[in-house]
């Protein structure tokens, strides 16, 4: 308990940073579930592809794990470029999964079990395909940002990586919320989420909306992948498994199908993990996060917010 009290500022900042990454990935789960009532298990492996996309981008500029850290201006430019590449790569693979795996099932009115099995199969295809392509090796990430704190106030301090992660996550989440709530495409997403058949009668192209949802989820995963790369300093073909489970847990914690709930769930899960590991030890980090999820769902099965995407405010 003393470790929690004494290290509360550091634990809070690191928890918020990790929670922001969970939240970005959770948005993809909650978007797809809100529209299709489908748990897209392949989403975690779409995220994994994004982590490699960022490394390949930096590698194209001659940077690897042993390279000297670039100047701050160069680093920021390379990070932005990596975000663009990783987001586009994740968006492409997310749409590819929808077109090749899920759309044929919808056309044949397949039962929910078929979608579940296909989602798990697509996840293994992506992860094992990347494992074969990379010979199952672990890849280091070049150091991009200084590790020394640049903002210090009392016991609170922020490093450039923490600032950039939180800033990028907030911008992405606020932009997505605005897009869904305020744009014509967002109204189409909410219409299909509420009643796909009625939306189709009103001229909404269901398949186009679903493809857009997968694209947006992939873009969010790509942003998270770059931030995760820099935080973890390495990646490999199965990096999406545990973080994907946690992001899905975050989406359920906040209320699956609710964008703001996914963001809230991710932040809370990151904080709970950090606080719990300080009290009980780092070996219990993952245990505590999922235990809190189970306890919460026992008393509030719909999650903290529990509002579906289709019923969100206009």
Half-sphere exposure of 252 (CA within 13 A, CB side): 18
Residue 92 pLDDT exceeds 90: yes
Q: What is the mean pLDDT of residues 197-222?
A: 94
Q: Catalogue all structural domains in the chain, each as residue range(s) with its CATH number.
A: 2-130+158-299 (1.10.3470)
Residue 308 pLDDT exceeds 70: no
Computed from CA positions of residues 103, 123, 22, 67, in that sequence, does the dihedral angle turn out positive or negative?
negative
Closest CA to 226 of 108, 15, 103, 55: 55
Q: What is the mean pLDDT of residues 157-178?
A: 95
% residues pLDDT > 90 (the chain): 77
User: CB neighbours of 23 closer than 8 A, spacing ≥ 6?
Assistant: 169, 173, 247, 250, 262, 263, 264, 265, 266, 267
For residues 312 and 53, the answer to whether their CB atoms sit within 8 Å is: no
Q: Can you give the pLDDT at residue 299? A: 87
Q: What's the pTM?
A: 0.94
pLDDT interval class at 314 (50, 70, 90):
very low
pLDDT interval class at 313 (50, 70, 90):
very low
Q: What is the mean pLDDT of residues 269-293?
A: 89
For residues 24 and 217, the answer to whether their CB atoms sit within 8 Å is: no
Residue 241 pLDDT exceeds 70: yes
For residues 135 and 57, the answer to whether their CB atoms sit within 8 Å is: no
CA distance 239 to 146: 24
Report the chain's mean pLDDT, rounded to a whole number.
92
For residues 222 and 91, the answer to whether their CB atoms sit within 8 Å is: yes
Q: What is the mean pLDDT of residues 57-82?
A: 94
């Amino acid at each position: 308990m003393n470790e929690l009290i004494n290290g509360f500022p550091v634990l809070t900042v690191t928890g918020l940073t990790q929670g922001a990454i969970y939240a970005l990935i959770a948005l993809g789960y909650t978007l797809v579930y809100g529209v299709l009532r489908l748990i897209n298990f392949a989403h975690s492996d779409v995220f994994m592809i994004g982590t490699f996309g960022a490394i390949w981008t930096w590698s194209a500029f001659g940077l690897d794990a042993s390279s000297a850290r670039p100047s701050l201006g160069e680093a920021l430019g390379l990070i932005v470029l990596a975000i663009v590449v990783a987001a586009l790569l994740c968006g492409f693979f997310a749409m590819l999964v929808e077109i090749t795996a899920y759309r044929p099932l919808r056309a044949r009115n397949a039962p929910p079990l078929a979608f579940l099995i296909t989602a798990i199969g697509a996840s293994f295809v992506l992860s094992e395909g990347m494992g074969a392509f990379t010979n199952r090796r672990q890849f280091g990430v070049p150091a991009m940002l200084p590790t020394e704190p640049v903002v210090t106030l009392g016991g609170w301090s922020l490093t450039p990586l923490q600032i950039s992660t939180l800033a990028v996550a907030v911008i992405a989440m606020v932009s997505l919320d605005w897009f869904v709530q305020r744009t014509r495409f967002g109204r189409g997403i909410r219409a299909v989420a509420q009643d796909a058949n009625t939306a189709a009668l009103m001229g909404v192209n269901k398949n186009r909306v679903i493809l857009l949802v997968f694209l947006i989820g992939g873009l969010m995963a790509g942003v998270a992948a770059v931030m995760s790369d820099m935080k973890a300093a390495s990646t490999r073909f199965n990096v999406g498994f545990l973080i994907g489970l946690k992001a899905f847990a975050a989406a359920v914690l906040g209320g699956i199908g609710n964008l703001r709930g996914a963001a809230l769930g991710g932040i809370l899960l990151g904080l709970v993990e950090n606080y719990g590991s300080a009290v009980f030890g780092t070996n219990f980090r993952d245990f505590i996060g999922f235990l809190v999820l189970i306890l919460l769902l026992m008393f509030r099965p719909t999650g903290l917010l529990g509002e579906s995407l289709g019923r969100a405010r206009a």
